[in-house]
Amino acid sequence: MAETPCRNIGGGFLFVDVPNPMYIFNMRKVYLDHTATTPLDPEVLEAMMPYFLQKFGNASSIHRFGQESKAALDESRNTIAKILGAQQGELIFVSGGTEADNALIKGVARNMRTGSGKDHIVTSNIEHHAVLETCKSLEDEKFTVTYVDADADGCVSPENVFKAIRPSTGIISIMHANNEVGTVNRIETIGRFARERNILFHTDAVQTFCKLPVNVADMNIDLLSISAHKIYGPKGIGAMFIRKGVQIDRLIDGGAQERGRRAGTENVPLAVGFATAARLMNQSRENQSHRLLGLKNKLRSMLKERFPFVLFNGHPSESLPHILNISFDSRKIRIDGESLLFNLDLAGIAVTSGSACTSGSQEPSHVLLAMGRDRATAKASIRFSMGNSTTEEDINYTFNELEKIVSRIGTIL
């Protein structure tokens, strides 16, 4: 490989190697960004195909084409509801996790203000942007929002949530597990507390559905968001759980589809794909979790042994088994985070420095800043997120390439 001193990328200079084309052609590819999205499972595609081609009826039509689609939609809803411990009628299909978060938080907030006059929302400062931006837009509508601080491990303590409650609090929204650092919150405790005080509890379970046990009854959840493309299902579909009896305004006006809670022609092929993906993931959940935790621990030990300047982000044990997030300590090493990711990409390794929505923005992750990392350290971070296809060889290759890149572009202080 030829070495060039630098290349101008979007206004900044990055130190990169320029590989020759044959090298790229033969290059090993390691995808370690399963938290951003996952590839479609071929079995999921197979299950969806008839609903694109032969069984194309509108699920709201009363003729047999429509009824065939409606049956598939109901069955898909049932499959997902069962996994969540919910009733079929409590599950509404939407376009993804972002829509679910928007529809649930805005829908409940607007309804509660008209109904009971409550106008206070409690959330945390490490939520996904789908929740944070929703809350910001509700502040423009004169709702009051308390953003509870996460601790240094990225955990939102139930005690701090309790302290934020006011008589005007109508909804608490705390994510099940964080998408950047993987820390899992004690949501059943928060849910129990909320229920005792007649406050609705929403959780964003986009990163945990079919990866950790999620049961809406056991965990005292009133409202929940999930998405298909994080579990080897298609992009563009998700679902929201709304506990029976919860009053909510709808976000999208139109027809009476999805029990009047989400207008628009039902996307049957995607719903079938979502349910198939959920069924398959749920079946393999325990085995995969065990396997991925082994790979994560291996990578963590190798990094710890080799790089004394690496900090590990996230809770050491209460964390998703497939996410490992690290930072290069700015007090001990100078290394440019973007060059790091770019060089890893050139070596065929796909990782990010935060969530997919913020990577590329050149801004350090709001989650790492909230956990107390300084800006330079937060910027020099990598999130490795493994999936069903990740092997031990992938981990060894990633470690070896990272070692070469760090010694090439890092300066020990």
Provide the minimum distance between the beta carbon of 185 and ligand PLP in the complex, in angstroms, as a whole number: 12
Out of 44, 83, 175, 406, name the contact with ligand PLP by CB under 6 A: 175
Pairing of strands 238-242, 144-148: unpaired
- Which listed residue (135, 155, 210, 357) is catalytic? 357
Q: Which residue is nearest to ligand PLP (CB)?
A: 97
CB atoms under 10 Å from CB of 134, counted, come to 23
276 or 355: whose CB is closer to ligand PLP? Answer: 355
**Under rule CB under 6 A, how many of the chain's residues touch ligand PLP?**
16
Given the complex with ligand PLP, which of 36 and 161 has the nearer CB atom? 36
Which of 33, 41, 68, 204 contacts ligand PLP by CB under 6 A? 204
Considering only 91-99, 118-126, 385-393, 398-406, which stretch makes contact with ligand PLP by CB under 6 A? 91-99
Residue from 57, 233, 234, 238 that binds ligand PLP (CB under 6 A)? 238
Smallest distance, ligand PLP to C-beta of residue 130, A:
4
Nearer to ligand PLP, 178 or 330 (CB): 178
> Which parts of 260-289 interact with ligand PLP (CB under 6 A)?
none
Q: Between 124 and 388, name the residue whose CB sits nearer to ligand PLP.
A: 124
3-state secondary structure the chain: CEEEEEEEECCEEEEEEECCHHHHHHCCCEECECCCCCCCCHHHHHHHHHHHHCCCCCCCCCCHHHHHHHHHHHHHHHHHHHHHCCCHHHEEEECCHHHHHHHHHHHHHHHHHHHCCCCEEEEECCCCHHHHHHHHHHHHCCCEEEEECCCCCCCCCHHHHHHCCCCCEEEEECCCECCCCCEECCHHHHHHHHHHCCCEEEEECCCCECCECCCCCCCCCCEEEEECCCCCCCCCCEEEEECCCCCCCCCCCCCCCHHHCCCCCCCHHHHHHHHHHHHHHHHHHHHHHHHHHHHHHHHHHHHHHHCCCEEEECCCCCECCCEEEEEECCCCEECCHHHHHHHHHHCCEECECCCCCCCCCCCCCHHHHHCCCCHHHHHCEEEEECCCCCCHHHHHHHHHHHHHHHHHHCEEC
Comparing CB distances to ligand PLP, the nearer of 119 and 258 is 258
Residue 223 binds ligand PLP, judged by CB under 6 A: no
Looking at beta carbons only, is 339 or 352 nearer to ligand PLP? 352
172 strand-pairing partners: 122, 201
202 binds ligand PLP (CB under 6 A): no
* 155 flagged as catalytic: no
- Give me the 307-346 binding string for ligand PLP, x by CB under 6 A, dash otherwise: ----------------------------------------
CB neighbour burial string for 362-382, b if at least 16 within 10 angstroms, e if fewer: eebbbbbbbbebeebbbbbbb
Burial of 293 (0-12, 13-18, 19+ CB in 10 A): middle
**Applying CB under 6 A, does 128 fall inside the site for ligand PLP?**
yes
**Does residue 386 interact with ligand PLP by CB under 6 A?**
no
Closer residue to ligand PLP in complex, CB, 134/388: 134
Minimum distance from residue 127 beta carbon to ligand PLP (Å): 8
Among 79, 169, 227, 288, binds ligand PLP (CB under 6 A): 227
Q: Which is nearer to ligand PLP, 204 or 394 (CB)?
A: 204
Closest distance between ligand PLP and the C-beta of residue 334, in Å?
30
Asked whether position 206 contacts ligand PLP by CB under 6 A, the answer is: yes
Which of 387, 183, 180 minimizes the C-alpha distance to 284?
Answer: 387
387 is a site residue for ligand PLP (CB under 6 A)? no
- Nearest distance from residue 397's CB to ligand PLP, in Å? 26
179 binds ligand PLP (CB under 6 A): yes
The 95-114 site mask, x for binding ligand PLP (CB under 6 A), equals: -xxx--x-------------
Burial label for 37, CB within 10 Å (0-12, 13-18, 19+), is: middle
Active-site annotation, residues:
357
- Residues at the site binding ligand PLP, with contacts judged by CB under 6 A: 96-98, 101, 128, 130, 175, 179, 204, 206-207, 227, 229, 238, 355-356
